[in-house]
Structure 1
Amino acid sequence: MEKSSIMNQVIILFLIVGVGYYSRKRNIINDEINKGLTKLLLEVTMPLMIVASFDYSFSKELMKNIIYMLLYSSLIHGALILISRILYNKYSKEKKDILRFATVFSNCGFMGFPVVGSIFGKIGILYASIFNIPYNILSWTFGIMLYTENKDSKNLKKVLLNPGIIAVIIGIILFIFSIKIPQTIYSTIKLVGDITTPLSMIIVGVMIAEVDFKKIFKKSSLYYIAFVRLILVPILTFAILKIIRVEELLIDVAIVIEAMPAAAVTAIFAEAYSKEPELASEIVFFTTFLSVVSIPVIFKILNIS
């Protein structure tokens, strides 16, 4: 993939963040509107995007790789959850939880899928969607618990019944049984779900409007999480999958996904649950900013093309 194509994906996201930034500075989006947009994102557009992402048909020939990709994704995310426990011990509990979330969850939906598609085409999107299953389940269970464990997150039933995890369950059923949603309904679901990407970046822009840029580049914690998220995680992913001798295409798809910056929902969840929203938005901004350079570098180092 050409560097310009990768940079274009990142630049587009930054321009959308700029829309949110401008809207907040001009008070077009105030605190009340932002809370409403966040609620719309978490309870409507993102769940619909998840459901739409499972609309893939697969042949029997692909079944083996599909099962393997599901297992590989579970292994990688499990390893990241464990490793993230020891990477941030010097930080406070509140900050550590945000840093752990940013380490485990990449911006695979908003950036990963377009990049995977541009490199590997339809087959890449298929494998990426399978890789995303554990991601979705864990982000709406383990991820939510990181943000809410000091409140009422111990009520596991409540966590599992949130719109995101319900969408994952619906998507898995549709995927496993190859149930095709009527085209009119699917088009509606996809159209609303597609709002998630620009909406999430606008919300991040609104959050960034409150950031002191003179301070953001002086924070050592941001450089540390950027190194972990953008360099260490994809290299670790490569090493794990190489050791167990995974097929080259599956390795490449996994690396592309894990080379993405911190997930936009790092900041979205932080805003929704009022837990270090400034730090979370800074992490999303900073890792996305640096990914313009880091993604082509990682692809070059690991020979992805």
Structure 2
Amino acid sequence: MVITALQSVLMLLTLILAGCFAASRPWFGETGSALFSKFTVQIAIPCYMFYNVWNTCGSREKLLEMFSQLPIPFCIILLGLAMGFLLARVCRIPLAKRGVFINAVAFSNTVIIGFPVVEALFGEAGLPQGMVYYMANTVLFWTVGVFLLHKDHDPSVRLFSLSGLRSILAPPLMGFLLGAATVLADFHLPDFLMSAITMIKQMATPMAMIFIGSMIYKGGLQSFRPCKELLLVIACRFILTPMVVLLICLPMGLSADTLQIFFILATMPAMTQLGIMANEAGSDSGFASVIITVTTVISLAAIPVYVFLLQQLLSASGPV
């Protein structure tokens, strides 16, 4: 069951290495890096968002049913944001890195790594519950998360302002909202258009990871030196977050499957989109790229441990 998840992680690392190689070539340069960043944010990720909502929800009834479960993952992620804010202040994280740091603490890679783990354990029947967590993760990242990244570059930006609204209503969030609207309206796009969206959305992850690899190459090996901020992110992502999930979910009386799916998705590595959006927002994209790479590598060891513990819960009798 672990093989699919591990292969997903190794695939991401391979794409990062491809980005490092591309950045080392003279034909790549700043123009190549800018192309990968802009195309991913403006075109590929919006198609990715639209397709995932449209394909997973399927019907208006299923989408509305998913909405009814959203408060739980919202609470998990909001508590993660609060934890990130608190640690950023107490540990005096530099202002230019705070947005990246808080995002890395609160948001996880739900689709590229999380969904394969969920499907390996529960089959396709587990994906609707996974989509619930994905919705909360997506909405909060493309609103609060993106706002915090812009605040790294411009401390004067406000969430409830015209400039703040512009940063929030980025193309990726619009893709998500359009996907939800299409499902709610029971509107079916022409086959040729859906085929084009499907092809473009498949480019989102490769381009994002190649961009991250190019950022790591530019930063050099010295960017991987252990630092306070990186160690705190690792501790939060792989130790404190699992405790937060259990603290919130256990009293809720959730089914064993739902609790375990939320647990898996909340404890995955940092989001791949964090590196791209940090660059677009003028935040510390080098620091974000290092976080994504390091947490993805650590997940090679963490995922089997989580899967083993979850299998023990599955085999135990009685309610979780």
**Structure 1 residues 11-58: Cα deviation after superposition (integer angstroms, max 9, x where no partner):** 111011111011111234211221121011101000010000012325
**Structure 2 unmatched runs, 5+:** 315-320
> Is the contact between residue 231 and residue 298 of structure 1 (CA under 8 Å) also seen in structure 2?
no
Whichever residue aligns with residue 95 of structure 2, its letter is K
> Is the contact between residue 9 and residue 111 of structure 1 (CA under 8 Å) also seen in structure 2?
yes
- Report the number of matched residues: 303
Structure with more of its chain in helix, by fraction:
2
Determine the structure 2 residue equivalent to 1:272: 280
Residues 239/296 of structure 1: CA separation in 2 closer, same or farther (3 Å cut) = farther
* In 1, Cα distance between equivalents of 2:166 and 2:63: 33
2:79 pairs with 1:79? yes
Structure 1 length as normaliser, TM-score?
0.91
Residues 96/59 of structure 1: CA separation in 2 closer, same or farther (3 Å cut) = closer
The match for 2:175 among 167, 170, 184 is: 167
Whichever residue aligns with residue 132 of structure 1, its letter is Y
Determine the structure 2 residue equivalent to 1:99: 101
Determine the structure 2 residue equivalent to 1:237: 245
CA-CA distance at 1:226 after TM superposition:
1.1
Residues 266/59 of structure 1: CA separation in 2 closer, same or farther (3 Å cut) = closer
* In 2, Cα distance between equivalents of 1:235 and 1:300: 17
Structure 2 length as normaliser, TM-score?
0.87
Q: How big is the alpha-carbon RMSD for the aligned residues of Structure 1 and Structure 2? A: 2.2
* In 2, Cα distance between equivalents of 1:175 and 1:235: 35
CA-CA distance at 1:227 after TM superposition:
1.7
Whichever residue aligns with residue 83 of structure 1, its letter is M
Whichever residue aligns with residue 187 of structure 1, its letter is S
Residues 74/215 of structure 1: CA separation in 2 closer, same or farther (3 Å cut) = closer
Determine the structure 1 residue equivalent to 2:263: 255
**Structure 1 residues 76-120: Cα deviation after superposition (integer angstroms, max 9, x where no partner):** 122212222112222122222211011111111322223322322
CA-CA distance at 1:177 after TM superposition:
3.8
Determine the structure 1 residue equivalent to 2:14: 15
* In 2, Cα distance between equivalents of 1:247 and 1:176: 27
Which moved further from structure 2: 117-126 or 73-82? 117-126
**Aligned residue runs from structure 1 range 123-138, under 5 A:** 123-138=125-140
2:202 pairs with 1:203? no
> Is the contact between residue 223 and residue 287 of structure 2 (CA under 8 Å) also seen in structure 1?
no
> Is the contact between residue 237 and residue 267 of structure 2 (CA under 8 Å) also seen in structure 1?
yes
Which moved further from structure 2: 156-165 or 197-206? 156-165
Identity %: 20
Determine the structure 2 residue equivalent to 1:292: 300
**Structure 1 residues 104-144: Cα deviation after superposition (integer angstroms, max 9, x where no partner):** 11111322223322322222222222322222222111111
CA-CA distance at 1:240 after TM superposition:
1.0
> Is the contact between residue 69 and residue 250 of structure 1 (CA under 8 Å) also seen in structure 2?
no
SS at match of 2:219: coil
